[in-house]
Structure 1
């Protein structure tokens, strides 16, 4: 959201915000799909300032999940065997709505309950150096919940974020 009306912020941008004592700081934790396949690590949390709550997890996607068949252009460097790639920081981030996961404080693992591995592989990624806009949010939500596509048309934050996908159990 590249304008003065911006309302989503990374938690680490907000010095006066901290995680409530009854919630775990899940940054750095592994996130898996329902079949326990690794999606990536939680890099940050996206906070809606007006609502004063986390709405998205910012996930640095695991290299194995990146779908090279999308014909994306990446600044990549092949190592000696030509199979491994090192992506520039930020080329492999996705957002996941907080209500779409369950958090296991004992194992320090976050599980995406209803979104499959292949959906994550095909989900549009963003560069963490740039803030995303509502169109990106809609594309991601439509990839996660294609049957509910019409529900993500609203641009009003109260309407857009007041749904089960953003419910912070």
Structure 2
């Protein structure tokens, strides 16, 4: 990853989730209409800013299957009749400020991002991580109305100084 200010929480042994926040890893994430998007696999932390900026989501199989219009690397399994996606491209990132967390139901809701948007958003391979270019593409997918001259195009941590990254 070009910007190594970002780390998965489980890579940082000295980091803990603050006691007033829920550890949402393993929780289900849904869109505003309650469609399942996937499961929260990890949290991406900006080490310099000392805060979580993204949820790392393992995308639900149904959402992947619903992505018929996308181009995927498919491999035939043994009987040749069925195609499965390479396991790799099954993760997306969601800015922490774009969700609300229900501690009672242990469900995270993406407030303003719909199922179709998640379906067409680029996924990444967990083995390869992602770079700032991927972050920009994802943010463009979620918030197409944003000004292209905004801080989304900065290379430094000011990229995260936006409401989409403010955890409520």
TM-score (norm 2): 0.91
C-alpha RMSD of the superposition: 1.8
Task: Give the Cα separation in 1 of the matches to 2:77 and 2:6.
Answer: 32
Question: 1:68 Cα shift?
Answer: 2.8
Following the alignment from structure 1 to structure 2, what is the Cα–Cα distance between the partners of residues 79 and 110?
38
Partner in structure 2 of residue 127 of structure 1: 125
- Equivalent in the alignment of 2:161: 162
CA separation of 1:74/1:81 partners in 2, compared to 1, >3 Å: closer, same or farther? closer
Partner Cα distance (1:65, 1:71) in 2:
14
* Aligned match for 1:38, one of 36, 39, 48: 36
Gapped regions of structure 1 (runs ≥ 5) = none
Q: How does 1:8-87 map to 2 (within 5 A)?
A: 8-66=6-64, 67-75=67-75, 77=77, 82=82, 85=84, 87=86
Structure 1 residues 80 and 10: CA distance shift in structure 2, 3 A: same
- Alignment check: 8 A CA contact 2:76 2:82 kept: no
CA–CA separation in structure 1 for the residues paired with 2:147 and 2:25: 29
Q: How many residues align?
A: 164
- TM-score, normalised with respect to structure 1: 0.90
Gaps of 5+ in 2: none
Q: Which deviates more, 54-63 or 65-74?
A: 65-74
Residues 33, 116 of structure 1: 8 Å contact kept: yes
Matched residue SS, 2:116? helix
Q: Report the Cα offset of residue 77 of structure 1.
A: 3.1
The Cα shift of 1:76 comes to: 5.7
Tell me how far apart the structure 2 counterparts of residues 99 and 29 of structure 1 sit (CA, whole Å): 17
Q: Does 1:93 align with 2:103?
A: no
Q: CA deviation at 1:74?
A: 3.5
User: For each residue in 1:116-151, what CA deviation from the matched residue of structure 2 results, as whole angstroms up to 9, or x when unmatched?
Assistant: 000000000000011211000000000000000412
Structure-2 change in CA distance of 1:23 and 1:137 (3 Å): same
